[in-house]
């Protein structure tokens, strides 16, 4: 499954994310090589893993490609790998990740992320329209033990906002829902707002990752200053 927010009229889009499954796990990675070291693993019970649970970490196998693509990262010392619990929504359903794209990332003349690229016909690919001024597009992901779950499913299906489900070999599901929210009524947690940049040439599209007080991982695309990345390792 692929998820991206973009404007077909202006051809400005955000970074695309790939969501897949394995034996007992689900995996989330950016499609853009410069961000390719970011990996979110949603592990179910499996004797091959020391513990089930949800984790964000760096993918060592992608570091070389990231450096080639001139990717950079800045992280709080000791923060990675970061295990998180997710927020229980109902028995057997956990809200694990919230992606956020705010209105200021889109519009005529703004620098776009790379185009998402082609996908295979058997894969699900969702291009979500960008939000109006003052709003954000959130994509919330849920891990479900027994059956797929979407909040307010009847309305979500009318709005064509349901993503998935994906099903791993253990019979667990991963679902998603796209929601437009006001950033005033539903602000981004301060912990997920690192290194913001003002309008100008000294900014790039970046991604901030943080775990909020509810143990949900936020993945927020935002404008970030180039300065903190000048001397950091690629990642």
Domain count, the chain: 1
Q: Where are the beta strands (DSSP E) in the chain?
A: 2-7, 12-13, 17-21, 25-30, 38-43, 53-58, 82-84, 87-90, 93-102, 125-128, 135-144, 162-167, 173-182, 203-211, 217-225
Question: Considering only CA atoms, which of 30, 55, 23, 8 is closest in space to residue 169?
Answer: 23
Give the per-residue pLDDT at 52: 73
| 235 found inside a domain | no
| 83 found inside a domain | yes
Find the domain containing 37 and state its range. Answer: 2-229
Give the per-residue pLDDT at 13: 95
Q: Measured in whole angstroms, how far is the alpha carbon of residue 94 from the centre of its chain?
A: 16
| 36 found inside a domain | yes
Q: Measured in whole angstroms, how far is the alpha carbon of residue 169 from the centre of its chain?
A: 23
| 234 found inside a domain | no
Task: Please tell me the distance from the alpha carbon of residue 218 to that of residue 31, in angstroms, as a whole number.
Answer: 18
3-state secondary structure of 218: strand
Task: Please list the pLDDT of the chain residue by residue as tens digits (235 residues).
Answer: 999 999 988 899 999 999 999 889 999 999 998 998 899 999 987 766 666 789 999 888 888 888 888 787 777 778 889 999 999 999 999 999 999 999 999 988 899 999 888 888 778 887 899 999 999 999 999 999 999 999 999 999 999 999 999 999 999 999 999 999 999 999 998 887 765 665 556 788 889 899 999 999 999 999 988 765 553 333 3
């Amino acid at each position: 499954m692929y998820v991206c927010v973009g404007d077909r009229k202006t051809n400005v889009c955000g970074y695309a994310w790939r969501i897949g499954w394995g034996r007992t796990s689900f995996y989330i990675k950016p499609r853009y090589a410069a961000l390719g070291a970011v990996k979110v693993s949603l592990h179910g019970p499996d004797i091959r893993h020391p513990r089930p649970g949800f984790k964000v970490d760096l993918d060592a196998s992608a570091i070389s490609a990231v450096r080639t693509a001139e990717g950079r990262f800045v992280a709080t010392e000791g923060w990675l790998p970061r295990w998180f619990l997710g927020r229980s929504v109902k028995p057997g359903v956990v809200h694990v990740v919230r992606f956020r794209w705010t209105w200021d990332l889109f519009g005529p003349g703004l620098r776009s992320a790379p185009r998402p690229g082609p996908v295979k016909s058997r894969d699900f690919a969702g291009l979500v329209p960008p939000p109006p001024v003052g709003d954000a597009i959130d994509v919330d992901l849920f891990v479900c033990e027994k059956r797929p779950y979407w909040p307010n499913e009847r309305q979500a299906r009318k709005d064509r906002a349901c993503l998935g489900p994906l099903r791993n070999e253990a019979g667990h599901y991963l679902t998603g829902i796209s929601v437009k929210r006001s950033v005033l009524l539903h602000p981004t947690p301060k912990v997920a707002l690192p290194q913001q940049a003002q309008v100008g040439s000294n900014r790039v599209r970046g991604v901030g990752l943080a775990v909020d007080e509810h143990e949900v991982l936020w993945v927020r695309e935002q404008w970030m200053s180039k300065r903190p990345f000048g001397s950091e390792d690629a990642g």
